[in-house]
Homo-oligomer: A and B are copies of this chain.
Amino acid sequence: MTADRPRVAIVGAGFGGLRVAKALGGKPIDVTLVDQHNYHLFQPLLYQVATAGLEPGEIAYPVRRIVHAYPNVEFRLARVDRLDLTASCLYASGHRIGYDYLVLAAGSDANFFGMEDLAAHSCPLKSLRGAVRLRNHVLSCFERAAAEEDPGERSALLTFVVGGGGPTGVEFAGALSELVAIVLRRDYRTISRHEVRIYIVEAESELLSMVHPHLRRAAMRQLNARGIRVRLSAQVRGYDGRMVVLSNAKQIPAATLVWAAGVRAANVAAAAGVGQSKSGGRILVVPSLQLPEHPQVFAIGDIAYLEDRRGRPLPQLAPVAIQQGELVAENILRLIAGQPPKAFHYVDRGTLATIGRHAAVAEIGPVRLSGPIAWFLWLVVHLVQLIGFRNRVAVLLDWTWSYFRYERAIRLITDE
């Protein structure tokens, strides 16, 4: 570390933070990258870990492995305890980190909208640990159902409710129905496929609200063909681990509630003590991605709130975080060089969501696809975006294996 070089601190090694670190790698700047995990997580494939298709190590990549190419980037495995924007420093796991520029890229956590019973009993799909837990839980439900003699209890063990009909909820439900259809019915002779019920509960009147109505209908058809029960205009209001209570007063006895119905900004947003969005607590930023009263502080990705030209909040998706990370690196270099920062404009390259074998929807600009072509496109795009050659080869191996063998290899219950 050289005393007179500008210091940049980045909180979060997700899609956004990592992009900033890489773009500043090799520049005459001292960069400190802080994350509470020692790995970068490819969140779009978390649901495949949760449904026994992929190993944790296939979608997680050691941060040090990525940044050791850049001598000016230092990684710290630490949790941010406190931010002091006035003194330009933060405290992470007890250590003080001073900065000239700060990038807040800590992402989002599951949003339970204040329902404590949901926080206690549902399974969110936001972390590697949560995905492995959900896998263990789902497989345990089948094991317990196979040994259960009480019909009501058995039925609840075989009922899976997914809260949220966005891409995560739809993809998880689709992958779970495949796990049931092609694997579990071979493994459990005493469980009929028709005993297994999968629900998606969505508060809005349609699933996948971000895609064209044509594709929403295609997704709905593909879900129906797999026997997935979709409950629209319904919200989950409570869950005690046994009974899902809906806003329409209906109740579903279920041993599993997967929570994919919303996210809120990571805790660092509140710790910053700055302006936050009403919904989700995201940090309000100006178009250059700076905080209004702290021009040396940036926020990007899920934790940041910015509206597009039509006044709609930017979606909390990886492409937004990546593009914002690129711009923030450029803006930091511009500020150091005494130039004004540039404004962010999101380039929407499209939406992809997969429901199962040969079934997906894709919207790329004016092009809308559903079925096998969209499904194949989804595979290619996700393989290419994974970090690391080894992870790509490993995922390709597992997908090929699953496809030709009708198999899910990682059917392990690793917790007790």
Contacts and interface: CB of A to CB of B under 8 A. Distances in A.
Interface in A357-416: 388, 390-391, 393-394, 397-398, 401, 405, 407, 409-416
A187 interface: yes
A281 B411 CA distance: 33
A398 B388 CA distance: 13
A78 interface: yes
A123 interface: no
A413 B57 contact: no
Contacts of A414: 56, 60, 128-129, 132
B77 A413 contact: yes
Nearest to A76: B147
A393 B398 CA distance: 10
A147 B77 CA distance: 9
Contact of A57 (B95, B140, B390, B409): B409
Nearest to A95: B147
A410 B39 CA distance: 10
A77 B143 contact: yes
Interface in A282-340: none
How many of chain A's residues touch chain B, expressed as a range?
Answer: 35 or more
Contact of A413 (B37, B71, B139, B188): B37
Interface string A118-152: 00000000001100100000011001000100000
Contacts of A38: 139, 143, 411-413
Interface stretch (A62-70, A157-165, A223-231): A62-70
Contacts of A132: 414
Contacts of A388: 409
Contact of A56 (B55, B147, B188): B55
Among A71, A147, A414: residue with most chain B CB under 10 A: A414
A93 interface: yes
Contacts of A411: 38-39, 62, 64-65
A186 interface: yes
A95 B412 CA distance: 23
Contacts of A390: 397-398, 401, 405, 407, 409
A286 to B, nearest CB: 34
Contacts of A413: 37-39, 77
B78 A147 contact: yes
Contacts of A95: 147
Interface string A37-60: 111000000000000000111101
Contacts of A391: 409
A397 B57 CA distance: 13
Interface string A182-210: 00001111000000000000000000000
A412 B41 CA distance: 10
Contacts of A405: 390
Contact of A186 (B58, B68, B415): B68
Contact of A39 (B128, B394, B401, B412): B412
Given A143-B38, A394-B394, A397-B393, A412 B77 contact: no
B55 A57 contact: yes
A413 B39 CA distance: 8
Contacts of A37: 413
Nearest to A389: B401
B397 A187 contact: no
Given A39-B413, A95-B147, 14 more contacts: A37-B413, A38-B413, A39-B411, A55-B55, A55-B56, A56-B414, A57-B410, A62-B187, A64-B187, A77-B147, A93-B147, A390-B398, A390-B409, A394-B398
13 contacts: A37-B413, A39-B411, A56-B414, A57-B409, A57-B412, A60-B412, A62-B412, A64-B411, A65-B407, A68-B187, A77-B140, A390-B409, A397-B397
Minimum-distance CB pairs A-B, first 3: A64-B187, A62-B411, A57-B410
